[in-house]
Each structure stands twice: as C-alpha cells, then as structure tokens.
Amino acid sequence: MKGIQGTSNKTYRQLMGNGLRYEIPKFQRDYTWEIEQWDDLWQDIQALLSDNDSEHYMGYLVLQTSNNKEFQVIDGQQRLTTMSLLILATLSCLNELIEMGNESEKNLKRKDSLLNSYIGYIDPVTLISNNKLKLNRNGDDYYKHHLVLLKDLPLKNTNASEKHLRECFKWYYDRIKKTYENGERLAGFIENIVDKLFFTVIEVTDQVNAFKVFETLNARGVQLSSSDLLKNHLFSIVDETKPHISEIEELENLWNKIVGKLGEEKFEDYLRYYWNSYNKSVGKKDLFKTMKSIIKSKKQVFDLIRDLNDATDVYLAIQNPEDRFWKDEPEIRKSLQELKLFRIKQTYSLFLSAFRKLEIDAFRKLVEICSVISFRYNVIGGLNPKNQEAVYNAVALKIAEMKNFAVKDFQSVYVRDENFENDFSTKEFKSITHNLKIAKYVFSKIERYLHHNDIDIESDLFSIEHILPESADATWGGFTDEEINRSMDRIGNLTLLEKKLNREAGQKTYSEKMTFFQKSNCKLTKSIPEEFNAWNEDKIAARQRELAKHAKSIWKIQELVNG
C-alpha cells in the first residue's frame, strides 16, 4: 500500500533498542487494560518461560515515523504500555533488594542496565534521561514522574487512566515479587521474555496513511472500536487545515469531557444513539463508515463534537431515573424507572432527539407511551426489537425536523389488545432475579389498579411467592411432573407476599398456604383463598386469564386502542 514504509517482525528487545523512542499521540485513547488482559499476558509469559523454544505473538503495531528514530504509536499502545509497566514492576522489586542491602551493587547494575535498555536512555548530547515511551496527555505525567522514577504512587487526584496504570503496575509487582526471589532471577525474567515476545510492525510516513492502515486492519478483522476510528478521522480532518494549537486543545478538551463523563467503553454506544437521533438509523458496524462519508470539514468536526458534548448529560439522564434532570418530574422519573427495569435501550435515540426539541409536557407523554409500548411489545410479547427501532428512528427524525409527534406514529409497535391479552395469559417469569423484579412490578401495578393499594417494589418487605412451590414434586396437590413444569413459572401461579409469610408458607399445601395468604396486606393475594378453594393447572390458567384482562386496562394507550 502506498505510504507504508515497511512491514517487519520485531522482538520487544529490537523495538526498544538503538535509541528508538515511541510516543502515543495526545489524542489517542487512554490506557484501559484491566485484570483480564494483564492476566492473559502473564499466563502467556509463564507458558513461554516453561518452553525454551517457544515465542509469543503480540499482534500488530502501527507506527508513524519520518526519521526512523521517533515513532507515533497509532495502534498498539495498550500492549507497549503494559510491557513497560511489567518491566517497571520488576525494577521496583530490584530496588527493594538494593534498599535491603541484598547484593546492592550487583542489583543496582542490573536495575540500571534494564532501565536504560527498556525504559529510558541517556541522551549523548544533553546527558538528560529520556523515556523510550511517552504516553498520552492523561497518563504521561504520572508515568514519567512517579512510575518511571519508582516513587510512591499517589492515590488521590488521579484520573481514570492513571488509576489503571497504577493498578497494572501493582498487579504485576505482586506476582513478580512472589515468583522471583533474587536479583539474578528478576533480571533473567526480563532478559528472557524480551527475545520471545514479537510484534508485526507496520511503519507509515504520515497520518493519512496511518489512518488508511487503521481502516485496513479493521477490515481484516483486527477490530478497533468506532470511537478510535472516528477520533483519528476527526483529528486528521482538523490537522489537515494546519489549525492553531488552541483549536486542537479545544477539540481535545471537548473529547475528554465527553469520554470523562461516559467512560471509554460506553462512548461507542453513545455515539450511535446520538447519530441515530438525527439521522437514518445505522448499526454499530456501519457507524464509522457512515459518519466518515458525511463529516468532512473542520466546521462539521467542531459542530459534531460540541453537540456531542452538549447532549452527553441528557444521554446519561435518560438512563438514570434519579438524575437531577427529573427532580421536578415524578411522572417522567416513574416511566424511566419502568424502562430501566425492562432493560429497554431502543428508546435512547428517540429520547435524545425529543428532550432537546419538545416541550416538557410532550416529552413526558412520549416517555409514558414508550413505557407502555415496551411492556406490551418487549416484556410480555418478546417481539423483534429491530422493527421497534425503525419506528422509533422515524419518530426521532420527525421530532428533530418538526418539533412534534403524533401518538399514532407508534401504532405499528403497539401490540393490539387481543394479542396482548393472549400473550399475558400464557406468559412465564422464570425464577431469576431480574424476572422476579418484573413480576413484583406487575403485581404491584395490578394491586394499585384494583385495590388502590400502593406496594413499593423496591422494598424488601414483599417477595414473589410461587403458590405451587418451586421445588414441588408429584406429591404436592396432585400435580403431575408435566403439569409442574408447565405451571411453575406462569404469572397465574405467582403472587406478592410478605417475606416473613413467604418463608413460613414454604412448601406447605395449598390449603395450609391459604391461611398465610389471608394474613397478607396485599389484597390481590388476600383474595386468592376467596376465589379458589383448590389449586391446580386449570385454576392457575383461569387466574392468569383474569389478570390479563386487568393488564389490558392498565398498560393501555387509549388513542391506539382501535388502531
């Protein structure tokens, strides 16, 4: 490919030799590796050391250079940073031996040799120590002034990247200290692995070609996130205009504010929801390609990032019912709590568009509509969310353009009464924590509707009772094994019951349980003995059909009933 200066395989020793220096661009993503990745590398290294002939492939490094001495790390910074931290952890162990007077002279030579070879070197002109690796703006000061100098590592006033650097260092330090007890073994550990770890190095001559390689690697399955791709693309666009440094700094500050609020791992999702709030819906895998085809000028870059920053708080608020945004909006908070309970994310783009374009009364109505639709469509119906996303996207675009919507816009994803009643009549809630929370919600809503009795589903006072017990066998109430399997998790077999009464009722027979139900403050439960003098599969089905009729009236949008 034009612009590629060379491709080669190099060991870690070769990478760090001959006075070479590596710089992670200041706009590159922060250090984010965690225990899973640290442990993977550690296990690979331990396997290497048990096999004298083996090597370990560390993947691609994409480097940009104009002089073959100084390189910008376009891809590979997580691995290079982790290797430096692993070596620094080893040097810290050597430093402790020196301070303890354990072969101090020999261990000092070992430490200095390893430090000069893999961490820093002495400039022959200035005699100033230079680090071989320079991190991005969020990590380099901590790396340079604390980690490399083997000083105490500050805990307070550190950003997320610095915390990851510190934790990685300590994680490797703990394992290295336990594994290698003397200076000779510590030095041997490093000298052994630097020849066994190798990378495929791709060198490019400029940022544009680096970006093309970035895309090519992505197309070949070396997956980089859309946020990485987008950030490099946006900075490339601005960089081509030879901007004033203040423009780059503003761009960086805005980007860091967004990522700082969301976290690196959540940015990609936000980006897609934001984009789809103003544009025709696009999936994750096509997001970068689509944005790249549209965002081409410096003005577009700044407009995009400024608006992304402005919308971040709204995005976080629609996921968090307790956010200050909803302090004076109890109805919105309630609907958002329901959507969170249902684990609905399809509404995010719609809500981003709506909150910024609609009056609060219209937004309140929209959120309530989506909660009802989600209960019918997703929770009870279990229908394909892709159809739902298309409708929500169409409404989002309408709101973005016209600043209004019609309830009828949602007609195609509002499950008709007959279908909803049938779905509810056969619905099961398997006994997992999340399902039981939804079951508590369902029964509390029906209790309020029928008996005007409020039960707090967040309270520990009530739990879900299985009338036919979960561990029932064929000796309980004459149920066969097949009937037990069919009936156990049906809504008709569930009810709300105080935890204390639930424990006492345990595996008792239905006639014995009736006494406990009569003591309950949940009137829906209290009425069960009055309505059913026995408990069998037919009674469960009958009760569930009755509950379904009530549900149809509770989760209802009147304007859509006859659609």
- 318-332 pLDDT, tens digit per residue, is 999 999 999 999 999
State the pLDDT at residue 237.
87
Give tens-digit pLDDT for 439-451.
999 999 999 999 9
What is the β-pairing status of strands 56-64 and 197-204?
Answer: parallel
Nearest partner of 286 among 261, 268, 307, judged by Cα: 268
Q: Is the pLDDT of residue 160 over 90?
A: no
Task: Return the domain boundaries, the chain.
Answer: 4-208, 225-319, 324-415, 427-554
Query: What pLDDT sits at residue 60?
Result: 86
φ, ψ for residue 501, nearest 5 deg: -65, -35
User: Do residues 512 and 523 touch, judged by C-beta distance below 8 A?
Assistant: no
Burial 408-443 (b: 16+ CB within 10 A, else e): ebbeebbbebeebbbbbbebbbeeeeebeebbbbbb
Q: What is the mean pLDDT of the chain?
A: 90
Beta bridge partners of 118: none
202 membership: H or E segment, kind and range: strand 197-204
Alpha-carbon span 373 to 413, nearest angstrom: 7
Q: What is the band of 354 on the pLDDT scale with cuts at 50, 70, 90?
A: very high
pLDDT at 444: 97
Q: Assign 43 a pLDDT band (cuts: 50, 70, 90).
A: very high
Total Cβ atoms within 10 A of residue 289: 12
In this structure, what token pair is assigned to residue 467?
Answer: 């009338």
State the pLDDT at residue 51: 78
Helix (H, G, I), strand (E, B) or coil at 8: strand
Concatenated DSSP letters of 261-303: HH-HHHHHHHHHHHHHTTSS---HHHHHHHHHHH--SHHHHHH
pLDDT surpassing 90 at residue 561? no
* Residue 400: predicted pLDDT: 94
Cβ-contact 81, 133 below 8 angstroms = yes
CA neighbours closer than 13 Å in the CB half-sphere of residue 475: 3
Q: What is the pLDDT of residue 128?
A: 54
- Under the banding of pLDDT at 50, 70 and 90, the label for residue 369 is very high
Supply angle C-alpha 112, 115, 117, rounded to 5.
105
Q: What pLDDT is attached to residue 341?
A: 96
Share of the chain above pLDDT 90, in %: 67
Please state the rounded mean pLDDT for residues 519-536.
95
CA–CA separation, 351 and 331 (whole Å): 15
Q: Which of these ranges, 22-36, 201-215, 241-255, 336-350, has the smallest mean pLDDT?
A: 201-215
Q: How far apart, in whole angstroms, are the C-alpha atoms of residue 153 and residue 147?
A: 7
- Cα 161 to Cα 33, 40, 138, 261, 363: the distances in Å are 10, 20, 6, 13, 37
pLDDT digits (tens, 9 = 90+) for 93-117: 999 999 999 999 999 999 999 999 9
> Which residues 6+ apart lie within 8 Å of 209 measured at CB?
1, 2, 3, 4, 64
Residues 6+ away with beta carbon under 8 Å from 78: 31, 32, 33, 37
User: Per-residue pLDDT tens for 209-264?
Assistant: 655 666 666 666 555 555 666 777 788 788 788 878 788 888 888 988 998 888 76
Most confident of 46-50, 182-186, 382-386: 182-186
**In which region does residue 150 sit, left (phi positive, over 0), alpha (psi from -120 to 50) or beta (all else)?**
left
Q: How far apart are CA 194 and CA 205, in angstroms?
A: 27
Angle between helix 264-276 and 348-357 (nearest 10): 60
CA-nearest of 455, 432, 406 to 560 is 406
For residues 557 and 407, give the distance between their C-alpha atoms in angstroms, rounded to a whole number.
Answer: 9
Name the least confident of 25-29, 187-191, 530-534: 25-29
